A and B are shown apart, each in its own frame.
Chain A
Amino acid sequence: EAQVTQNPRYLITVTGKKLTVTCSQNMNHEYMSWYRQDPGLGLRQIYYSMNVEVTDKGDVPEGYKVSRKEKRNFPLILESPSPNQTSLYFCASSIRDTREQYFGPGTRLTVT
């Protein structure tokens, strides 16, 4: 089954404790992206990648890191999480030609 998977689905952590949210897709998509979704603000792009080893900032990259060492994986790293990073996070992938995005199920992160 073609899909985008994210882990963990739910995470409660404390300020400053480094964490990684994994994202994997099995559709051989070139493009991958991370978003956060907050009430009233909608989906905002954090980082995106157009191919292996090619990443670029979205609109809200501060406090996040990403890497794209393999085509299928695009982890999101929070080196020192803060309460304002409490949010619902989505990973998405897309083929280059259409840029139609397929989303993972989401990760609900709470930073206390």
Chain B
Amino acid sequence: RKEVEQDPGPFNVPEGATVAFNCTYSNSASQSFFWYRQDCRKEPKLLMSVYSSGNEDGRFTAQLNRASQYISLLIRDSKLSDSATYLCAVLRATGGFKTIFGAGTRLFVKA
């Protein structure tokens, strides 16, 4: 079993839809969590960090569930420009920088 797992998708949704991605992690010592966005053949770009209390940035909401060991990303009112691969990332331990990425979830938003 991979340490960080994501549904690879693809998710095909119409414009305006709400879509949710989950990411599960197996190492309970994991301390920091992130969502990145990657466009085809480009570098990943930070979308948002994920905090224990949950956090929101415009149409994007991230949640952390430590008990069940997963993080989620909710995108409301999807735009065509949201089409990309969404990667979750987990830092294994406090003070370190050992990072595990999920393989990514592909999203296609259609007009």
Q: A interface vs B, CB < 8 Å? A: 31, 33, 35, 40-45, 48, 50, 56, 58-59, 88, 90, 94, 98-106
Extra contacts besides A43-B101, A45-B100, A101-B44 (19): CB < 8 Å: A33-B97, A40-B103, A41-B103, A42-B101, A43-B44, A43-B87, A44-B101, A45-B98, A48-B98, A59-B98, A88-B41, A90-B44, A94-B97, A98-B49, A99-B34, A100-B34, A100-B49, A106-B41, A106-B42
Q: Which residue of B lies closest to A43 (CB)?
A: B101
Question: A33-B97, A45-B100, A48-B98 are known contacts. Are A105 and B42 too (CB-CB below 8 A)?
Answer: yes
Contact of A48 among B45, B49, B87, B97 (CB under 8 A): B97
Q: Which residue among A31, A44, A99 has the maximum number of chain B CB atoms within 10 Å of its CB?
A: A99
CB closest chain-A residue, reference B48: A100
Main secondary structure of the interface of A (DSSP, over half): strand
| Distance, CA A96 to CA B43, complexed state (A) | 21
Which DSSP category, helix, strand, loop or mixed, fits chain B's interface?
strand
Q: Write the nearest CB–CB distance from A74 to chain B, whole angstroms.
A: 12
B97 touches A99 (CB 8 A): yes
Contact of A31 with B43 in the complex, beta carbons under 8 Å: no
Q: Interface extent on B, as a size class?
A: 20 to 34
In the bound complex, residues from chain A placing their C-beta under 8 Å from that of B97 are 31, 33, 48, 50, 56, 94, 99
B20 adjacent to chain A (CB < 8 Å): no
B104 engages A42 (CB within 8 Å): yes
Could you list 26 A-B pairs, sorted by A, with CB under 8 Å?
Answer: A33-B97, A33-B99, A35-B101, A40-B103, A43-B101, A48-B97, A48-B99, A56-B97, A56-B98, A58-B98, A59-B98, A90-B44, A94-B97, A98-B49, A99-B32, A99-B91, A99-B97, A100-B34, A100-B46, A100-B49, A101-B44, A101-B89, A101-B99, A103-B43, A103-B44, A106-B43
Q: Which of A33, A42, A100 contacts B87 (CB 8 A)?
A: A42
Contact A101 to B46, CB < 8 A, known contacts A42-B102, A43-B101: yes
Chain A residues with Cβ below 8 Å from B32 are 99
Contact A102 B46 (CB under 8 A): yes
Min distance, Cβ A109 to any Cβ of chain B, angstroms: 14
